Amino acid sequence: MDRYYGDLDKFIADHRRTQKPIPRESMLSILK
């Protein structure tokens, strides 16, 4: 779980920096 959380955290930070909307499908595929 920690590994996934780290990836998710980095993923969100990346999108915040680029100001792109995060596709819902991407979020769901990471959380699965």
pLDDT for the residue numbered 32: 66
pLDDT for the residue numbered 3: 64
Kindly list the domain boundaries of the chain, sorted by start residue. 2-31
What stretches of 1-32 adopt beta strand conformation (E)?
none
Taking 3-state DSSP, the helix, strand and coil percentages for the chain, each rounded to the nearest 5, stand at 80, 0, 20
pLDDT for the residue numbered 16: 80
pTM above 0.75, yes or no: no
pLDDT per residue as tens digits for the range 1-32: 556 667 888 888 887 887 767 678 877 777 66
Stated as kind and residue range, the H or E segment containing 20 is: none
Cα separation, 1 vs 28, whole angstroms: 15
pLDDT for the residue numbered 5: 67
